[in-house]
Structure 1
Amino acid sequence: MTDHSAPTAILPTTPLPTAPPAAGAAGAPELGPQASTDMPPAGGRPDRRRSAAPRPLQTRALPARWRITVWIVLSTLFTLCAIALIGRSLTLASVEVEANAQITQEAEEFTRFVAEGVDPETTKPFATPARLLEVYLSRQSVSDSELIIGLADRAPVGSLSGVDGWAPDRSPAPQLLETLTAPAKNSGALTTADGEPVRWGRVDFVVGEQSGSLLVAQFTAADRAAVDRAVGTLAWVAAAGLLLCSGVAWLVAGQILAPVREVYRVARDITEHDLTARVPVDGNDDIAQVAATFNEMLDRLEEAHRAQQQFVDDAGHELRTPITVVRGHLELLSEDPDERRATLRLVTDELARMSRIVSDLLVLARAQQHDFVRFAPCDVAALTLDIEAKAQALGERRWQLMEVAEGDAIIDAQRVTQAVLQLAANAVQVTDAGDRIRIGSRFEGDGAERRLRVWVADEGPGVSDEAATRIFDRFVHGGHVAVRSDTAGSSPRHGSGLGLAIVRAITDGHGGSAWLESTLGEGATFGLDLPAPQYAETKES
């Protein structure tokens, strides 16, 4: 009986080495060095002329819409390229892994055949390696790009090929066989002279005293080409998607920047004489908040401009007469001492009136600012008593405190005092010595609806119905003449017509109102109506 031993070498089941990654997949090209224009010269001090030169280059000639679109397209393109390169590398790696798996499977099948197979003609173990390979190859089939060659004593005895144009006697078959039969290793990867990548494995065995080998090779060029075709198809699809993405980015960028363009349009159309334009606000996103904030800024600018213009108009209107009077009297100033004294007294009086007008106008101008009224908790009873005490110095009148509100309120005590004393000064102006002037305060309502009412009533001539409708406007002189408290008590004089306007500005700053109740010939009652909601007062024990 012929001695039949197991094969001397079996292809290992671990995956064979993969091919090196394709060129271009390693990463982005390295950028070259860039010269810096901001480095200081050798002297150590920066060259101001050189550092200022690049500034014009920072001007962005490309519109914001284009910049947004370009950045979106570039980021999308970078992502698609990265996905394509990584996907191609992974797919090519799977091709190599599949080739290794098929070689390993073929090697395992052949190993079992060598160990268990018998010659079908003799029903005995195979006598020669050539007969074993002949029977084995007759029972096998190969897939596309697969090559199986049987060798007995390193000479080909048969082959199965799924590779187009392959023949053992045609190039590059001899060179390939020489490499595959080298005893240094029994598996690996190589590239043929035609540039085709090949995965191969060899199983060596012994029958009797003769040796044989089975070569299994997988040509992966077709599979790699299929991968490249698939990547090319995906590239065309990605190009179409990138074009669609650029269009969507263009439209979205236009919608996002539309409020910004409105801000630009409004800012361009605003002039010194027209601050009424506003940016349309749609939605509540960040851009809408920018537009709303811009509109709020325009509101403040318009209010400041209006206050400034009104101040200039009022000052020009009211100061023109005293300036003319002063100039006329100074031009006709006599050398007579008595006439000079009379003229200087008149001029001094007009200058004092101009000073009062300017001071009142400044108060009204400041009334447009947010900090004109400063709220703080206040004891209304103590405030009322303090106002009544200060009012008694305005003139010799019968001052009567009719009612005192008991409780606290969050108001500006100084501004309320200023307003009430202005009303008291007006009452002194229209009454005579010994006449009665009444002051009082009280709360009306409860809780959040509670209000504070402070009033001054006199026995003067009263205010007509026609004058009452305009009495709180600027430069309006009715039955009550507005004068400042610091000059009240002096000889009667024609006021500036700004005192009651200041009273209304103070009540407006509190969110309240100024009111008047009068019957012509029977006196008048002026008052403040201020919101004073009740609040919980927390005291530390």
Structure 2
Amino acid sequence: MTVDVPRVSARVRILLWLLVVMAVALGGVAVTVRAILQRDVDERISQLLTQETGEFANFVAQGVDPETGSRFGDPDRLLRVYLQRQYADPDEELLGLTRPGTGEPDVIRQRRDIPADIALWKDGAALTGIFASERAFGTLHRSQGELRWAKVALRPVRDGPPGAFVVAFHADRERAVADQTFWTLLGLSGVALLMTTGIGWAVAGRILAPVRVVRMTAAELTEQDLTRRIPVEGRDDIAALAETFNAMLDRLERAFAAQRVFVDDAGHELRTPITIVRGHLELMGDDPADREETVRLVTDELDRMSRIVEDLLLLAGAERPDFVRPEPVQLAELTADVFVKVRTLGERDWQLDGVADREVRLDEQRITQAMVQLAQNAVQHTVPGRRIRIGSRALGERIELYVADSGPGIPPQDAAVIFERFRRGTARRGARTSGAGLGLAIVKAIAEGHHGRVELRPTDGGGATFVLMLETDP
């Protein structure tokens, strides 16, 4: 059981691919920007912690007590004096820690408006861990948010308590700015996608409009009506498609017209012998002589039908790529062989007019077939004793093989039609011939199979000259 899959139009597919690509691109930009902002936050916090601890270390090494004018001897006094002189950032805490005994350290802090629910100085367990840590930098992930810290330990003086200077930075607000920028970019990306959907739908429809015209035109075409054409506008790929489609329609129209003419003419040519055969068979009596004559006439008409069919099959095969099979041939030998063969076609004044001495690539059998057909045509339209010349010549990269007769010639109005199938010149219809008008069409097909042509020229002194003009490499 087959399931019909819904067909998705090219317009929808183009729009979907455009949206997917843009969504990936905009999402990638938003994620990249967020990562860059978060990295900048980390770097700024790290620089701030390093700067604060460095300034405190310099104060420890060089600072003096403003009351005594000498170096600090008490970590508690050193921390209080230093913290009084500092101005912390809004998310920064500067703390001094001392431990006179056991338990949580004493806290020396600035008077700041840090919210109590996130302030480090109120988190005794965190302060104890930082004071006891051997590291100078660290990060705490608390329920209140992320906290970055740095510490400078103070050695006890004489028997005094140990101390430490701690810088703590609450990073959540800084990171929230980066996250807000990220969500803003995502929102703008969504708006951009919506705008792209509308614009892309309109643009894709405009671009694909000629394609829809091509489809509708193709759907309306029939064998009886191939006259419709697509209007060509612009110079883009769609216009080129329309031009190509119109050229295809031109070829189809010519092919169908030629096919109809061919079928009509073939039917006419085959209908005549069939009518003759049927008529004689219907009128055939019991007299042996009459029966013998009827059989002879019927056989003759059947032979003519057989030749017509063979010629039709030959012309049908002319469309195949292997219709001619070129091979190296000596043109002089080919011309002489043709001359010897055609001399038996009738009692005429046969003359070998000229011979080109050159090796060329062509199908010897097909060329011989064409030349014999031209010679037979010349015999049919000349009387015994008249001259018929056979020859070949080389003109640069082109060669010519010709048959020239001394008959009545061909009127100009017939020259344009004699190479068509089932067509005969008006001056020749009364000639004694059993042909169906396919001989010169076969000659033309053989010439075109060699990428050449057949040409009709007048003969000096009267008559017709048929020339095979072939472009071939020497």
Q: TM-score interval w.r.t. the shorter chain?
A: 0.7 to 0.9
Name the SS for the 2:315 alignment partner: helix
User: 2:54 corresponds to which residue?
Assistant: 108
Letter in 2 for 1:269: E
SS of structure 2 residue aligned to 1:137 = helix
| Alignment partner of 1:197 out of 146, 151, 156 | 146
> 3-state SS of the aligned residue for 2:286?
coil
Q: Distance in 2 between matches of 1:373 and 1:282?
A: 42
Match of 2:20 among 74, 99, 122: 74
Letter in 2 for 1:323: I
CA distance in structure 2 between the aligned counterparts of 1:506 and 1:230, rounded to whole angstroms: 77
TM-score, reference length from structure 1: 0.73
User: Secondary structure at the residue paired with 1:225?
Assistant: helix
1:495 aligns with 2:445: no
Flag the 1:478–1:413 CA change in 2: closer, same or farther, 3 A.
farther
Structure 1: distance between partners of 2:329 and 2:110: 108
Q: Which residue of 2 aligns with 1:229?
A: 180
Q: Shift of the alpha carbon at 1:262?
A: 4.8
Q: Distance in 2 between matches of 1:104 and 1:469?
A: 100
Distance in 2, matches of 1:469 and 1:204, equals 112
Q: Deviations over 1:107-150 (max 9, x none)?
A: 23223322332211111233433322221122211111111122
Whole-angstrom CA distance in 2 between matches of 1:480 and 1:97: 103
Contact 1:188 1:200 in 2 (8 A): yes
Separation in 2, partners of 1:456, 1:197: 107
Q: Which SS does the other structure have where 1:209 is aligned?
A: coil
1:517 equivalent to 2:455? Answer: no
Q: Describe how 1:291-370 pairs up with structure 2 within 5 A.
A: 305-370=256-321
**In structure 2, C-alpha distance between the alignment counterparts of 1:274 and 1:226, rounded to whole Å:** 69
Q: What is residue 151 of structure 1 aligned with on the other side?
A: 97
Q: Offset of 1:230 from its aligned partner? A: 1.9
> Contact 1:438–1:457 at 8 Å: present in 2 too?
yes
The CA deviation at 1:422 is 1.8
Matched, 1:240 2:180: no
The CA deviation at 1:438 is: 2.6
Q: Write the deviation string for residues 348-406 of structure 1: whole angstroms up to 9, x where unpaired.
A: 22222222222233333444555444444432211111111001221233322232233
Q: CA deviation at 1:73?
A: 1.4
Q: In structure 2, what is the Cα distance between the partners aligned to 1:157 and 1:391?
A: 127
State the one-letter code of the partner of 1:202: K
Amino acid at match of 1:332: L
- Equivalent positions of 1:394-413 (< 5 A) are 394-413=345-364
Q: 1:148 to 1:161 in 2, by over 3 A?
A: farther
Question: What CA distance in whole angstroms lies between the structure 1 residues aligned with 2:305 and 2:456?
Answer: 28
Q: Aligned with 2:70: secondary structure? A: coil
Unaligned segments of structure 2, at least 5 residues: none
Counterpart-to-counterpart distance in 2, 1:234 and 1:465:
81
1:526 aligns with 2:474: no
Q: 1:455 aligns with which of 388, 403, 406?
A: 403
Q: Structure 2: how far apart are the matches of 1:440 and 1:128?
A: 131
Deviations 1:428-477 (A, max 9, x none): 334454x14332324364x34x441412324x455556655654443325
Contact 1:137–1:160 at 8 Å: present in 2 too?
yes
Q: TM-score, normalised by structure 2?
A: 0.82
Structural mapping, 1:118-267, within 5 Å: 118-152=64-98, 153=100, 156=106, 158-160=108-110, 163-166=113-116, 175-182=122-129, 183-185=131-133, 187-192=137-142, 195-205=144-154, 206-211=156-161, 212-247=163-198, 249-250=200-201, 253-254=204-205, 257=208, 260-267=211-218
Quick check: 2:419–2:441 contact (8 Å CA) kept in 1? yes
Question: Do the aligned residues in 2 keep the contact of 1:143 with 1:162 (CA within 8 Å)?
Answer: no
* CA contact 1:481–1:494 (8 Å) conserved in 2: no
Pick closer, same or farther for the CA change 1:454–1:393 going to 2, 3 Å. Answer: same
1:179 partner amino acid: A
